[in-house]
Structure 1
Amino acid sequence: MIKLCVFDFDSTLMDGETIDILADAYNMGDEVKKITHEAMNGKLDFFESLNKRVSLLKGMPYEKALEVGRSLPLMQGSFELVEFLKSKNILSVVFSGGFYEGINPAMEKLGISLGFANFLHYKDSKLTGLVGGEMMFLNSKGLMLQKLKKLLNLKNDEVMCVGDGANDVAMFEESGLKIAFCAKELLKSKANVCIDTKDLKEVIKVLK
């Protein structure tokens, strides 16, 4: 019986990568996307790649970053899946290697009350190119899930995770039901369910 569902955010609950969308809005898209692609395929250290990408946003007005965060497109089927989980008394939580500036507006829309991510540091209303938070490292999602399981007194088989990239491997290792959603090959190899249709309603079929 599943009691907790942990979602990755970028390219899972949200249709795209927050850092890439921010970079596009600041005319740094091509450079950042190249680093994102390598990081999500496990070819770059996540911590280093995150810092490198955020550094390219230095000088961006913070209000512009918030504006981008408020307008991120949610994945098809996200509302339906979250509602289904609520109907089954399954707690939904978001773990994002991205930013609170992106996950907070999305969680409000979806009715999810708990999430963990990183903060874009800003000073004098502009991004400094620095970042900090709970999801900075490749193993951050796994460590956070360990804490949540202990807090909620849950076993692995009471937990499901839905993700797409290399930094989701750590949380998969702490979970019973591991769903790779339109995922990179590295994560697919760690999953027990792979969904290649870009619609989160497909997850509902797995749970029924």
Structure 2
Amino acid sequence: MIPTSAAASPASPTPRVSGARGALAPQGPGLLVMDVDSTLIEQEVIELIAERAGTREEVAAVTERAMRGELDFAASLRERVATLAGVPETVFAEVLAEVRLTRGAEDLIAALHERGCAVGVVSGGFEEVVLPLAERLGIDHVAANRLEVANGRLTGRVLGKIVDRRAKEACLRQWAAERSVPMERTVAVGDGANDLDMIRTAGIGVAFCAKPLLREQAPARIDERDLRLVLDLL
């Protein structure tokens, strides 16, 4: 089992949950879509891979700027992935073993499934880690990027279309349509600027321990790293 993060320090006086509540009543949510890195999990997968390439500090600095909305996400991802060239593909299994779920992740997913609500994840990270993680958690829909591998090593390139903020919103709409879930019964949860479009589009959009741009523009926000608090908004 993937370990859940350790308990957080005592709550600060700042409200843990704020913003719109109950907008999904009376039917409740039919689809929740969330980001992966720094939302469903505690880490940024690309930084864990970059650790093996010796480029973690460089990659982390670019990631931080991209999540604040200061850089084009697709271009910044290609820049970061280029630094991973030469890393053995065995890195995926190593990183998957290091991933820590955000507290409350399993409880949130289980509670939503009990209510008949589907759960999807949309990630600027990588299928090689996200897909097995989603399978373990019973997640219903997955979209993520894929890294090119040749001769057992990463080439430093991304395959296909990059999952950016527009792609995340498109996935939310597509999965809702496939399940005949009206948009007012959808929920989106994320932490960075590349989550902004889906959070604006969903019936309830939640900024989860988010960067300033998203915190300012999301209809609702959670300021404690516990995904069970999403249920308080529903």
The question of a shared fold, defined as TM-score above 0.5 by the shorter chain, is answered with: yes
Instruction: Name which of structure 1's ranges 190-199 and 6-15 shifts more when overlaid on structure 2.
Output: 190-199
Q: Tell me the equivalent position of 2:82.
A: 55
Q: Tell me the equivalent position of 1:107.
A: 134
Q: Tell me the equivalent position of 2:52.
A: 25
Letter in 2 for 1:204: L
Q: Tell me the equivalent position of 1:160.
A: 187
Q: Tell me the equivalent position of 2:43.
A: 16
Q: Tell me the equivalent position of 2:10.
A: none
Q: Distance in 1 between matches of 2:156 and 2:80?
A: 8
Q: Distance in 2 between matches of 1:167 and 1:124?
A: 32
Q: Tell me the equivalent position of 1:137.
A: 164
Of 206, 213, 217, the match for 1:190? 217
Q: Can you give the 5+ residue segments of structure 2 that lack an aligned partner in the other structure?
A: 1-27
Percent sequence identity over aligned pairs:
37
1:144-163 alpha-carbon deviations (Å, 9 max, x no partner): 22222322222221100110
Q: Distance in 2 between matches of 1:134 and 1:195?
A: 31
Asked if 1:93 corresponds to 2:117, the answer is no
Which structure's relative contact order is higher, taking Cα pairs within 8 Å and 6+ residues apart?
2
Asked whether the equivalents of residues 95 and 135 of structure 1 are also in contact (C-alpha less than 8 Å), the reply is no
Q: Distance in 1 between matches of 2:76 and 2:93?
A: 22
1:65-115 alpha-carbon deviations (Å, 9 max, x no partner): 332134311111111111111111110001001111221222122121321
Asked if 1:69 corresponds to 2:76, the answer is no
Q: Distance in 2 between matches of 1:199 and 1:59?
A: 36
TM-score normalised by L of structure 1: 0.94
1:39-54 equivalent positions in 2, closer than 5 A: 39-54=66-81
Q: Distance in 1 between matches of 2:176 and 2:139?
A: 18
Q: Distance in 2 between matches of 1:70 and 1:23?
A: 15
Asked whether the equivalents of residues 100 and 119 of structure 1 are also in contact (C-alpha less than 8 Å), the reply is yes
Asked whether the equivalents of residues 173 and 183 of structure 2 are also in contact (C-alpha less than 8 Å), the reply is no
Letter in 1 for 2:93: L
Asked whether the equivalents of residues 50 and 136 of structure 1 are also in contact (C-alpha less than 8 Å), the reply is no
Letter in 2 for 1:179: V
Larger Rg: 2
Instruction: Name which of structure 1's ranges 108-117 and 11-20 shifts more when overlaid on structure 2.
Output: 108-117
Q: Distance in 1 between matches of 2:161 and 2:195?
A: 14
Q: Distance in 1 between matches of 2:67 and 2:113?
A: 29
Letter in 1 for 2:79: K
Matched position secondary structure for 1:16: coil
Q: Tell me the equivalent position of 2:143.
A: 116
Root mean square deviation of aligned Cα: 1.4
Matched position secondary structure for 2:106: helix
Matched position secondary structure for 1:10: helix
Runs of 4 or more off by more than 6 Å in structure 1?
A: none
Instruction: Name which of structure 1's ranges 169-178 and 122-131 shifts more when overlaid on structure 2.
Output: 169-178
Asked if 1:7 corresponds to 2:24, the answer is no
Q: Distance in 1 between matches of 2:214 and 2:41?
A: 18
Q: Can you give the 5+ residue segments of structure 1 that lack an aligned partner in the other structure?
A: none
Residue 17 of structure 1 and its aligned partner are, at CA, apart by 0.7
Instruction: Name which of structure 1's ranges 97-106 and 8-17 shifts more when overlaid on structure 2.
Output: 97-106
